[in-house]
Amino acid sequence: MDDLQLNISVPKKDKKKASAPQQNAGEYKFVSNAKFTGKTIARKRPQNLAQANREVIKNAEGPPKKVAKFQPPTEEKSDDLGAKLRDLSENKGKYQGKNYQQLSDNIQLKQNKPRSGGWISSLFKNNPQVPRIGQRAVKPIVEKVFAGQTFSDLNIHPHTVANLQQNLGLKELMTVQQNAVPVLLQGRDVLIRSQTGSGKTLAYALPIIEGLQAIRPKISRHDGIRVIVVIPTRELAVQTYELFVKLVKPFHWIVPGLLSGGQKRKAEKARLRKGLSILVGTPGRINDHLRHTQSLNFAKTGCLVLDEADRLLDMGYEKDVAAIVKAIEDHKKAATYDPMALVKQNIVKKIPDEEEAKQETNESENDEKSDVKHHLTEVFLSKEKQTILLSATLTKAVENLAGITLVDPVFVDTSEGKAIIADSLKGKEDSENVISKPEVPVPVKVPEKPKAVKAEAKSSPEKKEIPVDAKRGLKAFTGFNHQELFKAENSTDNNDAKIETATNNAADDDSDSDSDYEYFKAQKKYELTHPKVEKKADDDDDDDDSDDDGDDDEQPSSSVNTFADALKSAIGEDELVLPATVNQSFIIVPMKLRLVTLCGLIVEHCVNNKKGGKMIIFMATLEMVDYHSDLIETVLTGKEVKVKKKGQEKGKNSKSGKRKGDDENDDDAQSSSSEDAEKFQVDYEEPSEGGLVPVDLEMFSLHGSMPHEQRMEVFKQFRAARCGVLICTDVAARGIDIPRVDLVLQYCAPASATDYVHRVGRTGRAAQVGAAVLFLLPSETHFIRHLEQKRIRLRQTDESRALEALRTVVPAAATAQRAAVAVQARLERTAHTNTNWLLRASRAYTSWVRFYSGYPRDVKEYLDAKQLHLGHAAKAFALRDAPATLARRVKSNPSNKEKPSNRLTIHKDEEKKRPGFEKAKFGSFGSRAAQRQSSMHTASEFDSGLSTLDQSQPKNKKKKNK
Ligand SMILES: Nc1ncnc2c1ncn2[C@@H]1O[C@H](COP(=O)(O)OP(=O)(O)OP(=O)(O)O)[C@@H](O)[C@H]1O
């Protein structure tokens, strides 16, 4: 029989007996015939090393070779440990108060005893059939990336055009920029949807700078924040801030600033005191400063940008977003009645510093060059506010958010065959001219006097009316308590006084109020106190703004429908757009082969590729990210991870980023780990048959629980790297623009088709070529059908090339399968080096199992936890234990890792103090599925993978009571 027998034995820690050649020999050997067919058998693992080393390896090409003897531990010693182990299992009472699993692990590691019943599960045996599924006829939606026009075709300042060309190397307009910039310069509220990497950031940043630079007299940083850009993740915030820094180069009086989680609050406070014109930040941190930093004032804010709007809501940031919107309204209102603010502002203006004086001298020069006036500039000067929402994917929750935050909005959607621009101010009769005109480059007919500007001229800013959709959205947005609100709306006559009192209280209350819908009450109050003025304003507007009167619920204006219809159909069609330059494929890999296939793909793409590949690998949980990046790096590069990560260690130490859980379990294992590491390196120096040759590979890892400095450092380093591998959670799935990424690998299936799109969108940006590979288990095959329903087309490939690539690291292996077995053996051996490794591996495994059972309902049928073979899954984590042992090990060493101090870890009592609303309840905002997905994201980022004790205990108690 053509069998491959694998004998794995871990060398003893006994220094005397662990000389290098012996170790190599004792590591693993093949017993095979020359004609290996890939079939392997599992066989009982030899129970002691002496026996193992008596095995004779038959090599068909040469005479039988004896394995170099690995000096067995003395029988006595082995027996000693065996006796200890027996004692441990038989007399558990004796070890009361001690960690049984840890004691057992330690004894077994010392004894080098196989960890699960003494069986080595073979890699290529008992795997399920890999189905070949045909490709369905799917026509992907295509978006044209470049528009064929240049920045100088836009009506913008020549300095900006020159800056774009010289400092950013940009000349040609992208489609979304061509469509959105003119509308934004009109000061209109806009919802922008265009595919990933299509230049949305510049599409909104450019008009903002253009609007601000044209303000005369020039704005000063002391004037207050003019623009707020809210962004869901720190990395994206940094990236956006950096773009603003580049864009303001010709206009140095505009000062951008960054507020993002993890940074020192004190420094941020100082920056805020000094003054900023553009504030870029994450929602949690902005709110933090709203509560604690007096100098943060939004009275002058004329533009609010909510980037990655759907993700902001997914992540449960709706409360923070609502609080920011409310703060802008509040501060603006307060400023209207604050004469001191005006006085202060004038004082500042009258005493210009040197820099300002210089600016004044240059002013006339600039003015000469640009006599362009945009309505957006007038919006900045008025009490109005422009709101911009952006995302590559839209959800029902975004529709609701648009309902509440946008007034007379325009919808810019760049996908072919869809509404390029849907303008809520256009009646249905006009809409034909505006909608479904894919080829028209800038078909915007914006009214000569945009409403925002006109409103300022005719009435006080408070007279801003809330259109029908906004009201509708408002209810949907809050979700809870809206019945009360609805009642109030319908009984204004009777309850005027009552509501007035209630809202007065709410208004008097500081933003720390924990009222559920304080903000909406304030809006309601405004509606109640200004009904007639609004009506009059509407009457006045009748001539040119007849579609504007959205105050009648029963007769919604056609204007609203134009926007709403386009948005609804975009969401309803549920089709997703991906860059056409990305070659998408999937591999169905049996569970046991997943880890080696992953290693093979890394080698194929980053090592064998002469140009040097740069890839991002998405995994489900932070435990998986940490564990896999260290494991793969250790095995493939032969480096001791801690040595390599010296640079990152700095960040770790400064914030005690090293996990507590890791430390406390090191005990005696730690002492032996360096010894083991040394042995590893000896292995690599003298590769023998089956030995691994180290390869040159740069590995990075990123997840939300990393200390801030480390997180930023990794992001910076990977951006600068020419090639390398980033293993990360979905924290890097949105908006992040990393140059030269040419492969995105989804090792764990995404929680939704939307997540798939954003992950894939990290490559193929700005019409660059890229590739995306999705790993699936045989049981997950039908997830492809789910993607096809959303017009995403993928091609099936298999793992053969990846396994073949492993021969680069195991050059002595006769076949790809042998190389795979060798690599798997090394992975397993590394994972069993000491209790620390074991614990990390077990945690990664359990966190994945938990993640897997939490997939949202709409994808659960394709990603069904019941279909998983947990024993095989252990192998994919380089573990040899039975699943029950793995769970027990993690349970006996609960992870005490420090949670990041960001929005998701706000304590309950702190929660109450925050401005805005209570935590949204199920069904309150977006669908239940969205909530579920939100919890998945949380699990993905911060959970250990196990339910906490306090969660599980009451349940058990209840059961027992029953
Ligand atoms: N006019 C242009 N010409 C060439 N490249 C451009 C242009 N505008 C933007 N880019 C580049 O395109 C890349 C993607 O831009 P950006 O990050 O704004 O995309 P996005 O649409 O926001 O993507 P995502 O949806 O993933 O957030 C960036 O590297 C940016 O520098």
Higher confidence at residue 120 or residue 480?
A: 120
Q: 206 C-alpha to center of ligand 1: Å?
A: 12
Q: Which of 134-138, 180-184, 354-358 has the lowest mean pLDDT?
A: 354-358
Higher confidence at residue 819 or residue 47?
A: 819
Domains 143-337+373-408 and 578-640+692-835 belong to one CATH topology: yes
User: How large is the average pLDDT for residues 443-466?
Assistant: 34
Q: 233 C-alpha to center of ligand 1: Å?
A: 17
User: How large is the average pLDDT for residues 456-480?
Assistant: 34
Q: Which of 46-55, 640-649, 753-762 has the lowest mean pLDDT?
A: 46-55
**CA triple 635-637-638, angle to 5 deg:** 65
The values of phi and psi at residue 772, to 5°, are -135, 130
Mean pLDDT of the chain: 70
Q: 163 C-alpha to center of ligand 1: Å?
A: 16
User: What's the CATH number for 578-640+692-835?
Assistant: 3.40.50.300
The residue whose CA is least distant from atom 4 of ligand 1 is: 170
Quick check: 874 pLDDT over 60? yes
At 85 the pLDDT is 58
Quick check: 193 pLDDT over 80? yes
Ligand 1 within 6 A of CB of 735: yes
HEC string of 218-237 equals CCCHHHCCCEEEECCCHHHH
Ligand 1 within 6 A of CB of 780: no
Quick check: 846 pLDDT over 70? yes
Residue 83 burial (C-beta neighbours within 10 Å; 0-12, 13-18, 19+): exposed
Ligand 1 within 6 A of CB of 704: no
At 453 the pLDDT is 31
Instruction: Give the three-state DSSP class for 101.
Output: helix
Q: 755 C-alpha to center of ligand 1: Å?
A: 19
Kindly give the pairing relationship between strand 795-797 and strand 582-588: parallel
At 455 the pLDDT is 31
Please report, in angstroms and rounded to a whole number, the separation of the first and last CA atoms in the chain: 57
Identity (one letter) of the amino acid at 264? K
Q: 737 C-alpha to center of ligand 1: Å?
A: 8
Indicate which atom in ligand 1 lies nearest the CA of residue 198. 21
* Percent of the residues in the chain that have a pLDDT greater than 70, as a whole number: 55
Q: Ligand 1 pocket test: which of 165, 763, 765 has the largest number of ligand atoms within 8 Å of its C-beta?
A: 765
Indicate which atom in ligand 1 lies nearest the CA of residue 766. 12
User: How large is the average pLDDT for residues 441-457?
Assistant: 34
Ligand 1 within 6 A of CB of 231: no
User: How large is the average pLDDT for residues 855-864?
Assistant: 92
At 827 the pLDDT is 93
Tens digit of pLDDT for each residue in 89-143? Answer: 566 566 565 665 566 666 665 655 444 433 344 888 888 888 888 777 778 888 8
Transcribe 737-777 into DSSP letters: --TT--EEEESS--SSHHHHHHHHTTSSGGG--EEEEEEE-
Kindly give the pairing relationship between strand 256-259 and strand 190-193: unpaired
Q: Ligand 1 pocket test: which of 165, 193, 200, 239 has the largest number of ligand atoms within 8 Å of its C-beta?
A: 200
Contact 850, 945 (CB under 8 A): yes
Q: Which of 384-388, 636-640, 767-771, 874-878 has the lowest mean pLDDT?
A: 636-640
Give domain limits for the chain.
143-337+373-408, 578-640+692-835
Q: 792 C-alpha to center of ligand 1: Å?
A: 22
Tens digit of pLDDT for each residue in 282-291? Answer: 999 999 999 9
Higher confidence at residue 164 or residue 140?
A: 164
Residues in the chain, overall count: 962
At 779 the pLDDT is 94
pLDDT-derived band of residue 165, with 50, 70 and 90 as boundaries? Answer: very high
Token pair listed for 829: 């051996």
Ligand 1 within 6 A of CB of 170: yes
Q: Ligand 1 pocket test: which of 143, 163, 174, 241 has the largest number of ligand atoms within 8 Å of its C-beta?
A: 174
Token pair listed for 757: 């799109």
At 172 the pLDDT is 94
Ligand 1 within 6 A of CB of 307: no
Quick check: 178 pLDDT over 60? yes
Ligand 1 within 6 A of CB of 766: yes
Strand partners, 745: 617, 773
The residue whose CA is least distant from atom 10 of ligand 1 is: 199
pTM score, two decimals? Answer: 0.69
User: How large is the average pLDDT for residues 311-327?
Assistant: 87
User: What's the CATH number for 143-337+373-408?
Assistant: 3.40.50.300
Quick check: 383 pLDDT over 50? yes
Rg, the chain, Cα only: 31
Contact 376, 185 (CB under 8 A): yes
At 162 the pLDDT is 95
User: How large is the average pLDDT for residues 371-383?
Assistant: 81
Q: Which residues contact 725 (CB under 8 A, 6 or more apart)?
A: 602, 606, 614, 615, 616, 617, 629, 632, 697, 698, 699, 700
At 371 the pLDDT is 58
Q: 735 C-alpha to center of ligand 1: Å?
A: 9
Host H or E run for residue 107: helix 100-111
Q: Ligand 1 pocket test: which of 149, 170, 195 has the largest number of ligand atoms within 8 Å of its C-beta?
A: 170
Q: 560 C-alpha to center of ligand 1: Å?
A: 30
The residue whose CA is least distant from atom 7 of ligand 1 is: 199
Ligand 1 within 6 A of CB of 765: yes
User: How large is the average pLDDT for residues 886-907?
Assistant: 54
